[in-house]
Amino acid sequence: MSAARSVRTLVAAGLVAGITATALVAPAVAAAPPKPSHAATQQALDAAVAEGVPGAVAQARDGRARWTGTAGERKGGDRFRVGSITKTFTATVLLQLQAEGRIDLDDPVDRWLPGVVRGHGHDGRKVTVRQLLNHTSGIYSYTEDPAFQEKVFGPGFLQHRYDTWTPEQLVSVAMAHEPDFAPGTAWNYSNTNFVLAGMVIERVTGRPYGKAIENRIVKPLKLRATSVPGTDSRMPKPNSRAYSKLSRETGGPTYDVTALNPSIAGAAGEMVSDANDLQTFYRALLKGRLLAPAAMKEMTDTVPISPELPGVGYGLGLMRQKLSCGKEVWGHGGGIHGSHSEAQATRDGEHSLAANFNADWTGDTQKVIEAEFCGTTPAER
């Protein structure tokens, strides 16, 4: 459920004109443009496997051109858990509901979830829905709770992998801690924000947030590999296995963590998809097919996340990153047990990338992003 780390080329294809000589003067004939090279992207996938990732997959689109690369134990059509990429779907639904006049993102959270954000200094009357979506609420992230980490991300996972967590239980974990800061005064990534956002969607629509995502995004875009599994621990096929060390140490045993109850993530990170569908979603979003211009302006109005990362900003469930070559991409990263994913695209939605590593202790997906959009290989960096 992690955010993208720092964030992510396409070799320009020249148009070669040819002249065919005949007895008469023949017109110039434009040869078909050569296919873009994704050599650097493939090298980044290979390098990740050399570093210990069991398998890596990436797919890129530039206009109508498509490329898929794999390394290690992967296939191009694998489905995987996308973690925090779920957040962009959740935010999109809330922006749609605002456009329909059913909610105002500047409403206090307490209007929709009275009394839920309370305890140890948290106050839902002072936090807005917008602040949930851009991580300026100050609400503590339940995934930072030491006891939760031990039970869900540490060795305790093996015993509790099929446990169901309700959104209320996840929020209660966060409410046992002090806020990170006063609402609107700083930025800090909190998975609790988006668990609450999912609860707000349910309160507004009267149905689980996942149904709203399915009806408003998945079905209209025909995202056949994308699902909101709820409490279903199974992975739909085709999929690759997911692996974790279940420890901060990288030298211990490796565990198969493919099966898990994704209610530990909820609207902050439970979804399943593949590289093709993720690109379809982000391209449609950035091209204005899901939100009107006014809503997209709100979504892409970013706040700085850190003085150390001046080229990175966070909007409403959407991150902007300026890459080493000066290019700018929009999207989100996502991490969950045994899975690290990225989905990024240029602002016009024309050049996109989605990638996944089936390990959570090694490999750097940022290198794949830089390779695709800037053409730099891991050795060159």
**Cα–Cα distance between 318 and 349 in angstroms, integer?**
14
> Does residue 339 have an active-site annotation?
no
Peptide bond just before 307 cis, omega within 30 deg: no
Judge residue 135's burial from the number of C-beta atoms within 10 Å of its C-beta, 0-12 exposed, 13-18 middle, 19 or more buried.
buried
Q: How far is CA 242 from the centre of its chain?
A: 17
Q: Please say whether the dihedral angle defined by the alpha carbons of residues 186, 192, 196 and 197, taken in this order, is positive or negative.
A: positive
Q: How far apart are CA 109 and CA 189, in angstroms?
A: 18
Token code pair at residue 176: 């046992």
The string of pLDDT tens digits covering residues 118-139 is: 999 999 999 999 999 999 999 9
Say which of 2, 6, 37, 84 is annotated catalytic.
84
∠106-112-116 over CA atoms, to 5°?
110
Going along the chain from its start, the domains and CATH numbers come out as 36-380 (3.40.710.10)
Count of residues for the chain?
A: 381
Q: What percent of the chain has pLDDT over 90?
A: 88
Q: From CA 293, how far away is CA 66, in angstroms rounded?
A: 27
The per-residue pLDDT for 248 is 87
Q: Which of 92, 72, 35 is nearest to 356 (CA)?
A: 72
Q: What is the pLDDT of residues 214-223, one digit of tens each?
A: 999 999 999 9
Q: Read off the pLDDT of residues 23-47 as tens digits, 9 standing for 90 and up.
A: 233 334 444 444 567 999 999 999 9
Q: What is the arithmetic mean of pLDDT over 147-151?
A: 96
User: Residue 125: which of 98, 102, 107 has the closest Cα?
Assistant: 107
Whether the per-residue pLDDT at 17 is higher than 60: the answer is no
343 to 34, 88, 277: CA distances (angstroms): 25, 10, 10
Q: Tell me how far apart the alpha carbons of residues 219 and 343 are, in angstroms, rounded to a whole number.
A: 20
Query: What is the distance in angstroms between the CA of the first residue and the CA of the last residue of the chain?
Result: 27
Q: Is the dihedral of CA 175, 138, 268, 145 positive or negative?
A: negative
- Mind listing the pLDDT tens digit for each residue in 61-102? 999 999 999 999 999 999 999 999 999 999 999 999 999 999
Mean pLDDT over residues 225-247, rounded?
A: 97
Phi and psi at 173, nearest 5°, equal -60, -45
- Name the token pair of 273: 């998809």
Q: Closest Cα partner for 1 from 304, 302, 265, 354?
A: 265
**Would you state the pLDDT for residue 16?**
22
- Cα dist from 37 to 7, 12, 43, 365, whole Å: 21, 9, 12, 19
For residue 37, what pLDDT is reported? 78
**pLDDT tens per residue across span 348-367:** 999 999 999 999 999 999 99
Q: Are 262 and 170 in contact (CB under 8 A)?
A: no
Mean pLDDT score across all residues of the chain: 91
What does pTM read for this prediction?
0.91
Q: Rounded to an integer, what distance in angstroms lies between the CA atom of residue 73 and that of residue 364?
A: 17
Mean pLDDT, rounded, for 255-265: 98
Q: How far is CA 162 from the centre of its chain?
A: 23
- What stretches of the chain show up as alpha helix (H) in DSSP? 39-50, 86-99, 109-112, 129-133, 146-152, 157-160, 167-175, 191-205, 209-213, 275-286, 293-299, 365-374
pLDDT of residue 376: 82
Catalogue the long-range contacts made by 150-158 (C-beta closer than 8 Å, 24 or more residues apart): 152/264, 153/246, 153/337, 154/246, 154/247, 155/246, 155/247, 157/244, 157/246, 157/255, 157/257, 157/260, 157/337, 158/246, 158/255
Q: Is the distance from CB of 365 to CB of 373 less than 8 angstroms?
A: no
For residue 371, the number of C-alpha atoms closer than 13 Å in the C-beta half-sphere is: 27
Q: Which two tokens stand for residue 125?
A: 């009357």
